[in-house]
Structure 1
């Protein structure tokens, strides 16, 4: 059975593509984007297989 690790991060709208590409290059898969605390910020939920 695959074990997962999870990561939650703020995603600023004006640099969203760069942030998502950086997380993707580290093996993180975006699960969901949700509204953040202000209109310019989203919250990204990510997962990747756990190394342990």
Structure 2
């Protein structure tokens, strides 16, 4: 194989292993969504436990 083909294979392998990059503005939103989902789940569990009593 020539050098051009090897460079192309190497570039494709690096792109595939890296995966899609998350935008910087979305990281804070993802953190807020995760925290709010946990809070909603905890509130739901406490409401269900109170209704059983």
TM-score (norm. length: structure 2): 0.28
Query: Is the strand fraction higher in 1 or 2?
Result: 1
TM-score (norm. length: structure 1): 0.29
Larger of the two Rg values belongs to structure: 2
* Greater relative contact order (CA < 8 Å, ≥ 6 in sequence): 1
